[in-house]
A and B are shown apart, each in its own frame.
Chain A
């Protein structure tokens, strides 16, 4: 059984209590909604992208501590990245949660490795991935995304 203190680390609890960049971003150039119909988690992700660079990311919505902290930390981490860099980070984050990323090697996740513990809990992987999934959709110009259906490729090996 995963140690709960390793899962719910102070950083995650802090972002859950005081989410950063929380609230709609009226100046967003793209946005997408992420839904997990199985548990009702729901987030709107907003991004301001100029000349291929992400100037700002914001989010709004409700869900569990894992998904909310994931969204909050994502908004901080993605700011200032190019769209290509963000895509790579999204892919690495997904690989970490499905246990396929060697964290001792080179990666761009920084503090986001606090979510590594989630990979031990298959039922919670979707929670952590949801906001990233929505950011990916927003950057690709899609507006709605869901953890279910076709989108399941996200958490599959």
Chain B
């Protein structure tokens, strides 16, 4: 398989935006879906669709089997000890909120502290602020340097007896920094503090082993790893799942319901009230097969190559400033052009068929730390190529030309 051939798996890439070829460089927001996943969704919808765990009939058995298989694929993808520890959510955001609700409200109270990092997405800040407001829990922040690297040498000083949880992303969506989460876990566990890792930007680009990392919680979204929207996964250690409060109440999460009370089902069902996103979960399973078929190491290496090329080329354009220059970096290029607001960069690139994101990337504290309102962000996937980079660079030159 060559990368050229792999591109053919993504029919959506082969289209024109106005008179220009599409250069899709907004993969950190949502990646594209290969034909193999589309086919699997079609097969499900035309052969298997029905509700799961409820019917005695053939279709329900087929749907249940496919749904359960998808969970097995997730478990093996993460190297989780058991698929029962992989909860289907609506996405990373819901996974983190589930922990804030099920773990936070159960175990945290007044005077306790949660440590987060300076690089977090709002999804890993706001749920903790909300919990803090409700329970009198305060937040403490691991600082970063100007390159966008966390200052982990300061973490030990932040970890006193009041700290009950550390929350950090594996890869920053705003700057691309790959954080040394294994080190975070080591330091936190040294003081018996559990760690939640937001893996939304990591799982599409590198092999993740939750046991090797020692993560207590690990959350990600399907739509950033070639799967459909509407589903994500929260992995958690069994000791926490057994003791946490359920999240939503309803069908499927119970063993029995009487007017006197309810007995909850066990994980994962305890945390999956109502009809789950069956189709999307099966699509996620197919996306995992697809990524593993290519190999995550090969994917990571290809993306590193694209990032290196794009970085070198964009720096040749006068007035371009890069944000996020960490030593360990995934395929994210956050930049601006002197004297031009990122939104104007985004509009001009769009007119040339180049899809990027402009804004604060749901990481306003990162922007504030860097003293900028926003950045333009090109983010790469393995199905991008040199032509996409050419088009990006030509677009940035056009920005310069228009703004003089």
A residues adjacent to B (C-beta < 8 A): 1-5, 7-8, 13, 17, 38-42, 62-66, 68, 121, 123-124, 127
What 6 A-B pairs are tightest by C-beta distance, nearest first? A1-B18, A64-B341, A64-B343, A40-B373, A65-B344, A4-B351
Q: Are the CB atoms of A124 and B343 closer together than 8 Å? A: yes
Residue from A3, A40, A66, A123 in contact with B367 in the complex, judged by beta carbons closer than 8 Å: A40
Count how many chain B residues have C-beta atoms less than 8 Å from C-beta atoms of the other chain.
Answer: 25
A4-B398 contact given A40-B359, A40-B373, CB 8 Å threshold = yes
In the complex the two chains form, what is the Cα distance from A1 to B353 in whole Å?
Answer: 9
Residues of A within 8 A of B19 (CB): 1
Q: Are the CB atoms of B17 and A4 closer together than 8 Å? A: no
The CB with the most chain A CB atoms within 10 A, among B19, B341, B348, is that of B341
Q: Interface digits, B335-359 against A, CB 8 Å rule (1 contact, 0 not)?
A: 0000111111001101100000011
Q: Are the CB atoms of B373 and A66 closer together than 8 Å? A: no
Give A74 Cβ to nearest chain B Cβ, in Å.
18
Q: What are 18 A-B residue pairs whose CB atoms fall within 8 Å in the complex?
A: A1-B17, A1-B18, A1-B19, A1-B351, A5-B402, A8-B344, A13-B402, A13-B404, A40-B374, A42-B373, A62-B373, A63-B373, A65-B344, A65-B403, A66-B343, A68-B341, A121-B347, A124-B343
In the complex the two chains form, what is the Cα distance from A57 to B215 in whole Å?
Answer: 56
- Interface check B360, CB cutoff 8 A: yes
Give B396 Cβ to nearest chain A Cβ, in Å.
13
Q: Are the CB atoms of B348 and A4 closer together than 8 Å? A: yes
In the complex the two chains form, what is the Cα distance from A40 to B363 in whole Å?
Answer: 11
Q: Are the CB atoms of B374 and A39 closer together than 8 Å? A: yes
Nearest chain-B residue to A10 (Cβ)? B404
Q: Are the CB atoms of A39 and B340 closer together than 8 Å? A: no
Chain A facing B: main interface SS: mixed
Q: Are the CB atoms of B18 and A13 closer together than 8 Å? A: no
Residues of A within 8 A of B358 (CB): 39
Residues of A within 8 A of B403 (CB): 8, 13, 65
Give B363 Cβ to nearest chain A Cβ, in Å.
11
Q: Are the CB atoms of A40 and B347 closer together than 8 Å? A: no
Within 8 A of A (CB), among B199-233: none
A7-B360 contact given A1-B19, A13-B403, A40-B373, CB 8 Å threshold = no
A65-B18 contact given A8-B402, A39-B358, A40-B373, CB 8 Å threshold = no
Residues of A within 8 A of B367 (CB): 40
Known: A1-B17, A63-B343. 17 other contacts (CB 8 A): A1-B20, A2-B351, A4-B347, A4-B402, A8-B344, A8-B348, A8-B402, A13-B402, A39-B359, A40-B367, A62-B373, A64-B341, A64-B343, A65-B341, A65-B344, A121-B347, A127-B343
In the complex the two chains form, what is the Cα distance from A118 to B342 in whole Å?
Answer: 17
In the complex the two chains form, what is the Cα distance from A82 to B231 in whole Å?
Answer: 55
Q: Interface digits, B84-108 against A, CB 8 Å rule (1 contact, 0 not)?
A: 0000000000000000000000000
In the complex the two chains form, what is the Cα distance from A91 to B68 in whole Å?
Answer: 57
Q: Are the CB atoms of A65 and B340 closer together than 8 Å? A: yes
The CB with the most chain A CB atoms within 10 A, among B340, B342, B347, is that of B347
Residue from A3, A7, A63 in contact with B341 in the complex, judged by beta carbons closer than 8 Å: A63
